[in-house]
Amino acid sequence: MKNQSTAKDSRDCYLWFLEAAEQGNPYAQFNLGLLYKKGQGVARDDASACLWLRRAAQQGLAFAQNHLGAMYYNGRGVEQCDTEAVHWFRRAATQGDASAQQNLGQMYKKGRGVPVNHELALSWFYRAAEQGVASAQTLLGEAYAQGQGAQRNDALALAWFRKAALQGDASAQLNLGLIYKRGQGVPQSDARALAWFRQAAAQGDAVAQRQVGVAYAEGRGVEPDQLRAYAWLARAAEQDDIDAQFNLGIMLANGKGVDQDDELAVSWYQRAAQAGHMLAQYNLGGMYARGRGVARDERRALEWYRMAAEQGAPYAQFNLGVMYAHGNGVERDEERAVMWYRTAADQGDASAQNNLGVMYANGQGVAQNDGEAFYWYRKSADQGHAMAQYNLSGMLNAGRGAERDPVQAYMWIMLAAEAGNATARDNRKAMARSLTTPQLRKAQELARQWRAAHRS
């Protein structure tokens, strides 16, 4: 009965506005347009909504002008046109309509219908923010925080975020949390960060929910609680927050705070990986490579490693090199192996640097070159890679790629043995027997100096 009454009231309202609108009343035209737009008292009809909004807008009604701009922006009832959207937003904004001022600022920020102009964007955000529009205050805070349209100013960013946050704007609350988490212009405080994250998370903000989950997982501003961490991350993940999906995959794969579940881990990795999350693609490749939570499939592993590698993940690039070098999941191709090793090595991956050295030393996939082999072994060895340290020792002991230096050769084999390389441990004594006592002392001193220089 109540629904019938509401429907009748809506229809009566429509008929009243229709009569007044046809007589030229701009407010009635505006309200009639809204009824068509929302489908209240009449079937939803975006074209009719635009017709009546346009009539009201042409009479100078700012509310109608802003709504008409939004119709053009979204292509509702009219052909999508950013230029027309800007035209109507501007007409409303210059009359002081705060929503239109924010919308016009967004057009300048995004470069839609006008060239990108962060200064003008900031000026329109400021006008709307001064009228108390929380979302505009947040946008103004972001502009100051990022130095867009004005010199970066952490104090002003904080002030505007706080104004919006106190009005309940979830985005501003999230930004305040991030400011306190990073200590950006304020004393770093995990507890304050978490307090703001909680407020935004309670409103359903997925990023804030993830931040709350991370806080519980890492014990930042609160006692560690892996079950609560999982619960908050799951809320964010269900909203397609790919970082949360990735974190859930890690928790499930490692059994951290929850029962280990490789199949569920794979499902979360897959969702994040399909959305382009680089590390999820890499981890998913690893699950396929090892047959965890899914049937072992080296081809699928290769596919996911390649996706991550093409986004710049050095570990994935290294794994691709290994797979091409050995023909795992793909036809053996030493030249491609070298290409992927080099790509990872150039990013500083120690394992890739060592393997690239091996390829040069053996002339696999590349012309044999002891100098290049020595260069890459040295770069990897300096990062503490035990196999590279052993390989470098062999080069120095044989005089390959550099002048023979038994003292440095022994230094590197000592370091390799200390780092756990079994072959180095087995061969160290034999090498030591070929050195004099002063040479041994010199090698030990060089090793001590290296350890001191590379102590983390």
Specify the pLDDT at position 455: 81
333, part of any domain: no
Question: Distances in Å between the alpha carbon of 87 and those of 57, 107, 110, 203, 206?
Answer: 11, 11, 16, 34, 34
Instruction: Determine which of 15-19, 219-223, 270-274 has the lowest per-residue pLDDT on average.
Output: 15-19
Q: 207: buried, middle or exposed (CB in 10 Å: 19+, 13-18, 0-12)?
A: buried
Asked whether the predicted pLDDT for residue 5 surpasses 80, the reply is no
pLDDT digits (tens, 9 = 90+) for 260-290: 999 999 999 999 999 999 999 999 999 999 9
Query: Which pLDDT band, with edges at 50, 70 and 90, does 315 fall under?
Result: very high
At residue 8 the predicted structure's pLDDT band, cuts being 50, 70 and 90, is low
Tell me what pLDDT residue 10 has: 74
pLDDT score of 1 more than 70: no
Collect all residues with Cβ–Cβ distance below 8 Å to 131 and sequence separation of at least 6.
96, 98, 101
pLDDT grade for 41, boundaries at 50, 70 and 90: confident
User: Rg of the chain's alpha carbons, rounded to an integer?
Assistant: 32
Count of CA atoms in the C-beta half-sphere (13 A) of 26: 12
d(CA 153, CA 163): 16
In tens, the pLDDT along 179-206 reads 999 999 999 999 999 999 999 999 999 9
Domain contains 228? yes
Domain with residue 184: its CATH number is 1.25.40.10
- Tens digit of each residue's pLDDT (9 = 90 or more) over 250-267: 999 999 889 999 999 999
Q: Is residue 211 part of a domain?
A: yes
**Mean pLDDT, to the nearest integer, of 200-218?**
97
Q: How confident is the model at residue 365 (pLDDT cuts 50, 70, 90)?
A: very high
- Whether 193 is covered by a domain: the verdict is yes
Structural domain tally of the chain?
Answer: 1
- Tell me: the pLDDT tens digits for 86-140? 999 999 999 999 999 999 999 999 999 999 999 999 999 999 999 999 999 999 9
- Residue 200 in any domain: the answer is yes
Give the residue numbers spanning the domain of 192. Answer: 168-239
List, for residues 379-421, the tens digit of each pLDDT value. 999 999 999 999 999 999 999 999 999 999 999 999 999 999 9
Q: Does residue 2 surpass a pLDDT of 60? A: no
pLDDT at 170 over 50: yes
The number of beta carbons lying within 10 Å of the beta carbon of residue 183 is 12
Contact 181, 193 (CB under 8 A): yes
Q: Whose CA is closest to 318, among 282, 278, 363, 294?
A: 282
* One-letter amino acid of 217: A
Residue 4 has pLDDT above 60, yes or no: no
Is residue 190 domain-resident?
yes
Report the percent of the chain where pLDDT is more than 70.
Answer: 98
Instruction: Give 68-78 pLDDT, tens digit per residue.
Output: 999 999 999 99
Side-chain-side CA neighbours of residue 411 (13 Å):
21
Q: Which residues contact 201 (CB under 8 A, 6 or more apart)?
A: 208, 209, 211, 212, 232, 235
The predicted model scores a pTM of: 0.86
**Residue 194 falls inside a structural domain:** yes
Residue 104 CA to residue 111 CA, distance in Å, equals 10
Confidence at residue 406, expressed as pLDDT on a 0 to 100 scale: 95
What pLDDT was estimated at residue 248?
A: 97
What span, in angstroms and rounded, lies between the C-alpha atoms of 410 and 395?
11
Mean pLDDT of the chain: 95
Structural domain includes residue 101: no
